Amino acid sequence: AHLPAAGEIVLFDRSWYNRAGVERVMGFCTDEQYEEFFRSVPEFERMLVSSGIQIIKFWFSITDDEQEARFRARMDDPLKQWKLSPMDLESRKRWEAYTLAKEVMLERSSIPEAPWWVVQGVDKKKARLNCISHLLSLVPYQPVSRPEVVLPPRIYHPDYERQQTPDSMIVPELY
């Protein structure tokens, strides 16, 4: 991933926030490294904002029960088992520690120039739609004039007949 150039949007999944969450909870960083993160990240984000980058941070929040249900669904579905790593299983035991780390992270790294926005994520579809809607409400944009698009008439050949696709080539319709 890279920082955006003018006119670009770049999405990061967790970005530089692993230090505040997984590294803290799992003991992958020292207390000094953890505190340095919270000292430097607001400065870093202010620097990015002052250079013209808009930072919008979202946290998708789910309940303990929902996380357990999602993990169990992954365990029971061979098509989803790949999503469940040994680290996920270890982190499940530490729900409260992760929740506390999240609460501290939101409090210590939400700054006026780059605030956190919490998306209620139990219902995935609603969460995604709410996030997209909120994101669009935060991004300033100007209407762009566009030329009128005219669909040209289709050319018809009276001797053409569309061929039927062989059954052996059809993807089964499961849904």
Domain membership of residue 44 (yes or no) is yes
pLDDT at 1: 67
Please report whether residue 21 resides in a domain. yes
State residue 141's pLDDT score: 82
Q: What's the angle, vertex CA 42, arms to CA 46 and CA 142, rounded to 5?
A: 40
pLDDT of 155: 96
Mapped onto helix, strand or coil, the DSSP state of residue 64 is: helix
Those residues with Cβ within 8 angstroms of residue 73's Cβ, 6 or more apart along the chain or in another chain:
80
Instruction: State the pLDDT at residue 149.
Output: 96
Query: Which tens digits make up the pLDDT trace of 24-53?
Result: 999 999 999 999 999 999 999 999 999 999
pLDDT along the chain (175 residues), means of 10: 85 89 96 98 96 95 96 94 92 96 97 97 97 94 90 96 95 91
Look at residues 67, 105, 104 and name the one whose alpha carbon lies nearest to residue 89: 67
The DSSP bridge partners found for residue 58 are 117
Q: Is residue 103 part of a domain?
A: yes
The residue type of 127 is A
Domain containing 120: what range? 15-141
Which of left, alpha, beta for 19 (phi over 0: left; psi -120 to 50: alpha)? alpha
Place of tokens 């289709």: 154
> Number of folded domains in the chain?
1
How many Å apart are CA 94 and CA 29, to the nearest integer?
A: 16
User: Is 161 domain-assigned?
Assistant: no
Q: Say whether pTM exceeds 0.75.
A: yes
**What is the per-residue pLDDT for 32?**
98
Q: What is the pLDDT of residue 140?
A: 85
Task: Report the alpha-carbon distance of residue 117 to residue 54 in Å, rounded.
Answer: 14
- The answer to whether residue 22 is domain-embedded is yes
Residue 63 lies in a domain: yes
And the tokens for 30?
């020292």
User: What is the rounded distance in angstroms from the CA atom of residue 113 to the CA atom of residue 54?
Assistant: 8
CATH of the domain at 33: 3.40.50.300
CA distances from 16 to 41, 103, 146 (A): 8, 16, 38
Is the residue at 93 inside a domain?
Answer: yes
